[in-house]
Amino acid sequence: MDITRTKSEKAEYSEQSTLRKIFILTILTALFSFAGWVCETVMFLFARGEFCDRGLLTLPFCPLYGLGMLGVYFVLRTPQTGLWGKICARPQSKAGKIAAIVICLIAYATLAALLASVAEYFTGLFFDRRFGVRLWSYRRYDDTINGYVSLRYSLLWGILAVSAMGLVWHPMQNVLAKVRTAVLAPLSIALFVLIAGDFIFNMIYLHVRGKRFGSLGEMLFRKKH
């Protein structure tokens, strides 16, 4: 195995070339889109005892999760980097560092919850007003904004965002930074083409037919039952 690397293939994400960063961020966005789909599917499977795919795409991806995390990254970076890293590095005492970390995590989670809620509201509003399709609804709760956003779920998004960005996104950036461009490039391009193509197809189908095409999971589930 060739372990030599070019200047654009150093081990840390921060040292990557712009093109390699794009490849890495594309892969992470796809991974989080898939993870979001899995989490929602499993949650509804346990809650209702049935398969329920609330996503828009045919493939097992919920881009709102991946793009949401990508948006959080561009605005807030990760809890270990950017402004947060600088703030946590300032205190000299152990107690001061712990206090700084706690304050930063709370602030990060709060801002991430706000960003997620804004994205959730306008995405839900767009599909409801434009296509008459409710991708989700919080109407059964008493802390909602027009059924598109729920305060309890906004708090959950904040906790999930700070956990996911700190414990998964940040480490995965450096893991992917060690992967050679010959692997990163085709993988990221393939994932982008699959998800973008799926989205375009379903948007056209939704515009023409006025309803979702349906997911592979729904098709397989109906076939078995």
Query: Could you read off the pLDDT of 16-51 as tens digits, one per residue?
Result: 999 999 999 999 999 999 999 888 888 877 766 666
Q: Is the pLDDT score of 223 beyond 80?
A: no
Q: What is the pLDDT of residues 167-219, one digit of tens each?
A: 999 999 999 999 999 999 999 999 999 999 999 999 999 888 877 787 766 65
**pLDDT digits 0-9 by tens, 106-150:** 999 999 999 999 999 999 999 899 888 888 889 888 999 999 999
State yes or no: pLDDT of 5 exceeds 60: no
AA identity, residue 77? R
Rounded CA-CA distance 173/128 in Å is 35
- Whether residue 10 is predicted with pLDDT greater than 80 in this model: the reply is no
Mean pLDDT (whole number) for 52-77:
88
Greatest alpha-carbon pair distance for the chain in Å reads 63
Higher pLDDT, 166 or 3: 166
Q: Answer whether residue 60 shows pLDDT above 50.
A: yes
Q: Are the C-beta atoms of residues 55 and 40 closer than 8 Å to each other?
A: yes
Query: Does residue 162 carry a pLDDT above 50?
Result: yes
Statement: residue 95 has pLDDT above 70: yes
From residue 108, give the alpha-carbon distance in Å to each of 35, 72, 101.
21, 10, 10
Checking if the pLDDT of 55 tops 90, the result is no
Mean pLDDT of 82-87: 94
What whole-number distance in Å separates Cα of residue 21 and Cα of residue 9? 10
- Enclosing H/E stretch for 214: none
Global pTM reads 0.86
- DSSP-derived 3-state class of residue 54: coil
Segment 88-117 mean pLDDT: 95
